[in-house]
Structures are given as structure tokens and as C-alpha cells.
Structure 1
Amino acid sequence: MEFGKKQKKIINNKPNGHLLIKGPKGSGKTTAFIHKIPSLLNNYCISKDDKILVAACNEEYSDYFYSVYRNIEGEKYHQNSFFDEDNSDKLEIRTIDSLVSYYLNKYVKNNNINLTLASFEECEAELKDAIRIVSKRYGKKKAGYIKFRLY
């Protein structure tokens, strides 16, 4: 696969804090990012507990990330030295929903509390109250909401 100049920069540069990758759909953002993962695994997952987490917005993207990664995994994993370990098991690709659910459940269990989901009516009442507070704070600005349901 041939990469453009910007994609090569993402793949080959050392990480230096957060990186925002912007571009239109189909421009190769995800592919460049996924091609960066083997370098991160080989050079930055030194301790046994070090891992890389990729948070996907939904299951479809999670599956796509895995399929692209599996396609490059064989060609990218070249050990740097005799003493390097195989770090391929240190990559975790999860959906944001699964992460939120995991940490919420962990919090509930660690704090021995009982939580229940709010009803639609309770959510609507809280939303109306929040809109009232924001409207009061910002004066003449109009605020409102659109009623919808998730199925």
C-alpha cells in the first residue's frame, strides 16, 4: 500500500502527546493510525502491564479496525532484537459504550451501590430543568429540545 506524505508522517514519527487526525471520509486516517500501532507496541509497551486501547464509536468501526489491523499485522511485526517480546496481545479495541459500561459496573461494585436506569419521563424532566437553567443564565438566547426515542 502506498501512503501519502501526511500518512507517512503519522506512521513514522515518534508519539509526542495527543494527535488529532482530520480529513474527509476515505482519506486514509484510520489506515494510517492502524499502521502506527505495531510501532507503538514494539517501542512503547515495555512493561508487562502496558497496553494500547483503541476506542471505536461503535461495533462496526471496531470490526473494521480489527480487520485492517489483522491485514497488516504479519507484515509489520518484525522484532527489533533477540530480546524483544511479542506484544501483539497488548492491543485492545473496544467500543466507547463497552468502556463506559465496564467502568460504570466496576464503580457500582466497588462502591456497593444500586443504580437503575432513569425512565424516559425522568430524563425528559431533567432535560427540561437543564434547559430552564441555561435559558435563565444566558438571558435572551433560546433553548429547547427535540423529543426522540432510541429503539
Structure 2
Amino acid sequence: MLADIQNNLSMALANASHGDSPAMEAWKKDVIAAGPKIFPVDPAMPMGPNGFQVMSSLMHKGKFDADFLKRLWTGRGEVRARVPGDPGVAWRDTAHLDYPPTDNANDPLSGFMEALGHNPAASLDFFNVSTGQGDD
């Protein structure tokens, strides 16, 4: 049941990312701004997944807007640059964000790459820019 909820929420968020109303633009900005924020699972413990990890777990279904993906990637990179050490250790926490649960780290790159796989134009743009071939 949790996997179905996660999949349906992913589809809803993907559709929402294409909205261009002032309210939707504010939502996208807020999602990206919440990326580095820690969301404690247990109020007694200050640790938990960050916003990029949570959003990544909700990006496995649907076609997210290309500009939203680009802005999300930029924000994630800024956070990753501040996280020292092995990414597998840095992104690991006790929260299971994907259903069914796995022992994999909650790497925010996972859902992002899955989202790129559902948007060929965004994927092409992303990899062209990443390899120095793009216009940006």
C-alpha cells in the first residue's frame, strides 16, 4: 500500500512541476529551498533525511518539468559540495524512503536520475551540459 501511495504521489508531483502559476512557482522554489533541510524521523533524534533525499524518493514515476529538474540538480550539487566523505555514508540514515524498503542509501541522485529517464529532452540537455556540449 505504501508503494502505491509513493507512486501516486510521484505522478502528482511530476504533473505539478509543469505548472507555471505563481502558486506553483512558489511551490517549486520551496521544494528546492527545503533540499538541505533535515527532516527528523524521531523528535528525540536530530538526524534524518534531508529534503533532497525525500524528494528523490518521490521522483520515480511521472515526467517532471525539465527546468524544475535543472534547478533541483543545482541545489543538490550545492549541498553535496558541503557533505564531506563517502556519499554512501553521507546519504545513509535510518529512514526507509523507498517502498518496498531496501538497504540502499537514500542517495538523492537515485530519484533524480530516474526522473531524467522519464524526460528525454531534459535528459539530453542535462548530459550535454554536464559534458560541456550544451549551450549553458
Normalising by structure 2, report the TM-score: 0.32
TM-score under structure 1 normalisation? 0.30
